[in-house]
Amino acid sequence: MVPPSQDMSTSGAAQRSSGFELSIRPSVAIIAMTREFVFTFANRILGDVDMSSRLAVTVHELLENCLKYSTDGEATLSVELGAGKVSMKVRNRAGEDQITALREALAELAEATNPSAFYTMALMRAAKRKEGSGLGLARIWAEAGMVLRGEFDGDVVALVVEA
């Protein structure tokens, strides 16, 4: 893990900018620990419980996707927080089918105009699926209020999330 770029003991939480990068092999336990860490870290840096909770939901969903779809079981999580800047990126290797499905999901999100309506539609669709809910990205957009985009380089996929 790369240490924070500023001393967290400094007063004025909203004025600081900080971040980290973490390389992990996601598991259910690691996802829960990382979610808790991101919440605590973000709350300390931003001083905003609501935003910290939204980031915790986001990291949970992103790492669950890495757990399910990574071809080598590894992921890299990068977080940057500060005044006017909240961003998160998760990178992992994925198979061709997963990359195609991700591109389609991101295109569908980009075409939608109402996060709540999109999430409701995704919930109805999930009830008919045999594997997975397919709700992670929709939840990040609708519940966490984050904007998503994908970056693709061969079999390396990066999901970038910003608020």
Amino acid identity of residue 55, one-letter, is: L
pTM for the full predicted model: 0.83
Domain ranges of the chain: 13-162
Out of 3.40.50.20, 3.40.50.1460, 3.40.50.720, 3.30.565.10, the CATH code matching 13-162 is 3.30.565.10
At residue 73 the predicted structure's pLDDT band, cuts being 50, 70 and 90, is: very high
CA angle 3, 51, 39 (to 5 degrees): 45
- Rounded Cα distance between 115 and 14, Å, is 28
Q: What is the pLDDT of residues 82-133, one digit of tens each?
A: 878 899 999 999 999 999 989 998 998 899 999 888 888 888 887 777 665 6
Q: What is the pLDDT of residues 16-53, one digit of tens each?
A: 679 999 999 999 999 999 999 999 999 999 999 999 99
- Rounded Cα distance between 60 and 79, Å, is 13
Strands across the sheet containing 75-82: 18-24, 75-82, 85-93, 156-162, 147-153
Residue with token string 């690691």: 30
